[in-house]
Amino acid sequence: MTRTTYGDNLVVTDRGGVVENTHEIHAAVTDADGRLLFYVGNPHRITLIRSAAKPMQALAVVETGGADQSSFDSVDLALMCASHSSEERHVQRARQMLDKVGATEDDLRCGGQPSITPQVTEGWWRDGVTPTAVYNCCSGKHAGMLAGAKALGAPLTDYHVQDHPIQQRVKRAVEEVANLAPDEIIWGIDGCNMPAPAYPLTALSQSYALFAKASSDLARDAATTERERWMGRIYDAMARHPEQVGGDGRFCTILMEAFEGRLIGKLGADACYAIGVKESEDTRRLGAKGALGLAVKVGDGSYSILYAVLAHLLEQLGIGSPGEREALRAFHELKMVNSMGVQTGTVNFQYKLHSVL
């Protein structure tokens, strides 16, 4: 575990002009061919992409035929890609997915946990709700895995273990979409107990650009493979149902709502993020052949810094209009106020966005 220090990749918060905290940023901007266009820090940083892997995990499931066999619609597909806030609509939908699979909550191999959104957890405490596995922010993904396991004729138990047939499918899908050899990807165990891949941010960026490309190709009937059609449908599911992918007030949801289908974005735990942007004047201006991807990791895992950086990078790159980015203002400015509402400091984006071309 060695490490290179870059030095020009910091976000610094201050209080009264004094440095309070420093955060290292790593980011890669590529196109769907994997060409690096811009970067911050180390764009090749091997990164545990955590829940940013969900579109690839969903792809492995739909390619088994499991989504069709379980009559999943696009809302179900979106929930498979979600780190949802465990709102009523998410929990209900996950239960419906289990019904459609012919499985029960007891088949889920994730545990219960507090909601990502404190107000939701607060509601459970008020109402005496104990969050079980179906409340887990990954319950849609897990329900999807059960559909995949069933379609493969594999046992529903232990669908989360690396050598289960559905996880072997996931492994191949992740490798192929990232365009990496098996030995270029390292696997850990995720917070929801499923295998979690680690690979360079450049490859994550490329993967998301490929989803964006697939959606454009699907729309103009130019998708060339079954895989590309499925990738387009997964992109479209996320873009059309952003409220399923995150929840009220969440960055993923607000970002995708603001851009109305022109991009998808997904959070991974410990402050990793990936965005896929459909081909547009913006992506061409930035040097992309077609669609564009952006992958970011905050070195220490700070979420508020991650969201500020994403909003800042979108502005620096000129992706979308000022009006579209306006929805992200609260994340971008990250007002540092105290218990009396007094502003105590600011966030300073001191990193350099390097242009490669």
Which residues sit at the interface with a second copy, rule CB under 8 A? 1, 3, 5, 7, 10, 12, 14-24, 46, 48, 109-113, 122, 125-126, 128, 136, 186-193, 196, 198, 270, 299-302, 338-342, 344-345, 348, 350
Cβ atoms of 146 and 156 within 8 Å: the answer is yes
Long-range contacts of 313-322 (CB under 8 A, 24+ apart): 313/27, 313/29, 313/40, 313/353, 316/353, 317/29, 317/38, 317/282, 317/286, 317/353, 318/282, 318/285, 318/286, 319/263, 319/277, 319/282, 319/283, 319/286, 319/292, 320/258, 320/259, 320/262, 320/263, 320/282
In order of 250, 311, 330, the CA distances from 346 in angstroms are 22, 15, 13
Least distance in angstroms from the C-beta of 353 to a second copy = 18
The sign of the dihedral angle between the CA atoms of 117, 123, 126, 132 is negative
Comparison of 10 and 275: residue with beta carbon closer to a second copy: 10
Comparison of 58 and 269: residue with beta carbon closer to a second copy: 269
Cβ atoms of 115 and 246 within 8 Å: the answer is no
Residue 32 per-residue DSSP state: T
| Amino acid at residue number 249 | G
Q: Residue 354 in 3-state DSSP?
A: strand
Least distance in angstroms from the C-beta of 124 to a second copy = 9
Comparison of 336 and 353: residue with beta carbon closer to a second copy: 336
Cβ atoms of 96 and 121 within 8 Å: the answer is no
Least distance in angstroms from the C-beta of 286 to a second copy = 29
Give the number of other Cβ atoms within 10 Å of residue 343's Cβ.
9
Comparison of 118 and 155: residue with beta carbon closer to a second copy: 118
Comparison of 110 and 310: residue with beta carbon closer to a second copy: 110
Least distance in angstroms from the C-beta of 256 to a second copy = 26
Mention every residue, 6+ apart, whose C-beta is less than 8 A from residue 281: none
Least distance in angstroms from the C-beta of 126 to a second copy = 5
Least distance in angstroms from the C-beta of 190 to a second copy = 7
Comparison of 197 and 242: residue with beta carbon closer to a second copy: 197
Comparison of 298 and 311: residue with beta carbon closer to a second copy: 298
Least distance in angstroms from the C-beta of 195 to a second copy = 9
